[in-house]
Structure 1
Amino acid sequence: MLDEIKKNDLFCEYYARWIAVYKQGAIRKVTMDKYLMTHQWVEKLVPNLQICEMTRIAYQQLLNDYALHHERQTTMDFHHQLKGAILDAVDEGLISRDPTRKAIIKGKTPSLKKLKYLNQFELHTLLTSLDLKGEVNWDWFILLVAKTGMRFSEAVALTPKDFDFAHQTLSISKTWDYKGAGGFQPTKNKSSVRKIQIDWQTVIQFSELVKNTPADEPIFVRGKVYNSTVNDILERQCKRANVPVITVHGLRHTHASLLLFAGVSIASVARRLGHASMTTTQKTYLHIIQELENQDVDIVMRSLSGLS
């Protein structure tokens, strides 16, 4: 298919065909959607650019124009999604030299995003107000996410056999396609496949709760699942408990924040959350880490002053 393309064909058309040939059916839908969005921006920014006109200057200008509307990290993602196609065009002789070499990534200054999470007292207040009946409901889901820090899609995909009650562990090895037609999907990345420890109270509660659920069936799926539905339920529970309103993802932040404040290492928190690297954890919880470092300075100063 791609060998029919000529140097003077439009780059946006070449990129669309490249996505169809190399990415369709090979990547997750959420990733595919990102490639299609990148293609839309290419059509918008360089609709008349021919493949042979993709020089270093033309490519840098494309990145610069995209960066006017996006933060640096988003521009970096845009660059990576284009680079594979462009390098293939170089290999095919459609472009004489690699125009992506030494590309400079720019972007708007990131807006300061303050994490929404509950402190220990607020979380305790919320959890004690939940309606934990003898059958599965979304309040049980809220409790489990708060206790484990799982992503929404990971928690929805849980089945009874993911629990090892004897060893107090929970295996996270899949997600649920709640944005699409449903069904199990791979995790976000390899690091997301993990086993995490759960406390004995959760063991007792869930061993009883899931005993009549088939081992391979998702515990919380009853028809179509919507993130917004669970967030609405959580919002009502937060208001009823008179604590700040957060989302299910905010429960994940709450879980991580409480562990960090309790003195758990960044490495352990990263593994528990399924982050690809500690850098992700450090970036996400920078303000908490800085606060803990300030406390460390106070401890150091008190220790040193006691030596005189």
Structure 2
Amino acid sequence: MLENVENTELFCEYYAKWISVYKEGAIRKVTLDKYLMTQRWLVKLVPDLKVCDLSRITYQQLLNDYAITHERQTTMDFHHQLKGAILDAVDEGIIPRDPTRKAIIKGKTPNENKKIKYLNQFELHTLISILDLKSEINWDWFILLVAKTGLRFSEALALTPKDFDFAHQSVSVSKTWNYKGDGGFLPTKNKSSVRKVQIDWQLVIQFSELIKGLPEEEPIFVKGKVYNSTVNDILSRYCKKANVPVISVHGLRHTHASILLFAGVSIASVARRLGHSSMNTTQKTYLHIIQELENRDVDLVMRSLSGLS
């Protein structure tokens, strides 16, 4: 609990204390850094705002000012990070009413270049066909594995031989690799990220041979310091060689999800396979694909109904 907090205290100082009490040591460093960035924005936007002056109007103005230079989704994240601290202040009686109620989330129009990039099934098939899949583990195998499982970059890096269950055609995701830091295993992004992902029989045959004899609990792909940019550069070269849109490793994850959705796999199943904390995340991320599928469904309904006359 936050003790000795006065409602006349500056909001940015209260928020810094709240992070220290409730977040430090409880969340991953990368997530903590986001909360600390939010605190720095408070210092920049409302350095003199006191906790007692938090009202729906002052809070909405704060969101509006932040939204001038940020996209709507980023503003939504900013709002959620602040809301946790504010609701705790309401519970403690420091603020009489919830100023975040009915907040309106605004934001800049997303940059076209930031639009989710993914390959269609034909393009992915073309890309995979030119990978140099040697008899030993290399980054080409990593690209194939992410394309066929939809794992996050850090999740795939953390895979060990012990995580493969060839008898049941699955791979267990229970940890990530700290590639942004000094290496080593870290917890998954959230509880939903701990999962078993089914793999096809080809991957079973290929990886059962590849990892034979490797240390059971050591990461398969990590040999020294790993950089996201290294793998992205390799993938970029292959995309250009295959004459398909250039995507990142994270784009392979989007490709995996989009192919499943277009194949008719339910959003719930895709969400579980990707390790999303809720279906809402999947729906928001792949809204454009879902809308396209809905349009296709409408056409199918109309054709079916017209045949009843």
TM-score, length of structure 1 as denominator length: 0.90
For residues 254 and 207 of structure 1, do their structure 2 counterparts lie closer, same or farther at Cα, with a shift above 3 Å needed?
same
Equivalent residue for 2:26?
Answer: 26
- 1:34-71 CA distance string (max 9 Å, x none): 11011101101111223333344333332232232223
- Identity level (%): 77
Aligned-partner SS, 1:166 = helix
Which stretch has the larger CA shift, 117-126 or 51-60? Answer: 51-60
Which stretch has the larger CA shift, 291-300 or 275-284? Answer: 291-300
The unaligned stretches of length 5 or more in structure 1 are none
What do you get for the CA RMSD once the two structures are aligned?
A: 2.3
For residues 211 and 68 of structure 1, do their structure 2 counterparts lie closer, same or farther at Cα, with a shift above 3 Å needed?
same
Equivalent residue for 1:144?
Answer: 145
Aligned-partner SS, 2:256 = helix
Aligned-partner SS, 1:102 = coil
Shift of 1:235: 0.6
For residues 79 and 300 of structure 1, do their structure 2 counterparts lie closer, same or farther at Cα, with a shift above 3 Å needed?
closer
Give 1:229's aligned amino acid: T
CA distance in 1, matches of 2:218, 2:203: 19
Shift of 1:92: 5.0
For residues 134 and 83 of structure 1, do their structure 2 counterparts lie closer, same or farther at Cα, with a shift above 3 Å needed?
same
Shift of 1:204: 0.7
Q: Does 1:219 align with 2:223?
A: no
Aligned-partner SS, 1:235 = helix
Which stretch has the larger CA shift, 63-72 or 233-242? Answer: 63-72
Shift of 1:296: 3.0
Equivalent residue for 2:61?
Answer: 61
Equivalent residue for 2:181?
Answer: 180
Aligned-partner SS, 1:64 = helix
User: Retained in 2: the 8 A contact 1:116–1:250?
Assistant: yes
Shift of 1:101: 4.8
Which stretch has the larger CA shift, 186-195 or 164-173? Answer: 186-195
The unaligned stretches of length 5 or more in structure 2 are none
Which stretch has the larger CA shift, 70-79 or 115-124? Answer: 70-79
Which stretch has the larger CA shift, 136-145 or 250-259? Answer: 250-259
User: Retained in 2: the 8 A contact 1:69–1:107?
Assistant: no
Task: Map 1:149-164 onto structure 2 (within 5 A).
Answer: 149-164=150-165
Equivalent residue for 1:234?
Answer: 235
Equivalent residue for 2:86?
Answer: 86
User: Retained in 1: the 8 A contact 2:83–2:100?
Assistant: no
Aligned-partner SS, 2:172 = strand
- 1:80-120 CA distance string (max 9 Å, x none): 32233334444555x35135252522312542653322222
User: Retained in 1: the 8 A contact 2:54–2:99?
Assistant: no
CA distance in 2, matches of 1:85, 1:288: 35
Task: Map 1:245-260 onto structure 2 (within 5 A).
Answer: 245-260=246-261
Give 1:192's aligned amino acid: S
CA distance in 2, matches of 1:306, 1:56: 55
User: Retained in 1: the 8 A contact 2:261–2:270?
Assistant: yes
Equivalent residue for 1:202?
Answer: 203
CA distance in 1, matches of 2:193, 2:223: 25
* Corresponding residue pairs, total: 307
Equivalent residue for 2:38?
Answer: 38
Shift of 1:5: 4.5
Aligned-partner SS, 1:3 = coil
Which stretch has the larger CA shift, 40-49 or 18-27? Answer: 18-27
CA distance in 2, matches of 1:265, 1:87: 35
Equivalent residue for 1:106?
Answer: 105
TM-score, length of structure 2 as denominator length: 0.90
Aligned-partner SS, 1:195 = strand
User: Retained in 1: the 8 A contact 2:75–2:107?
Assistant: no
Task: Map 1:92-131 onto structure 2 (within 5 A).
Answer: 92=92, 95-111=94-110, 114-131=115-132
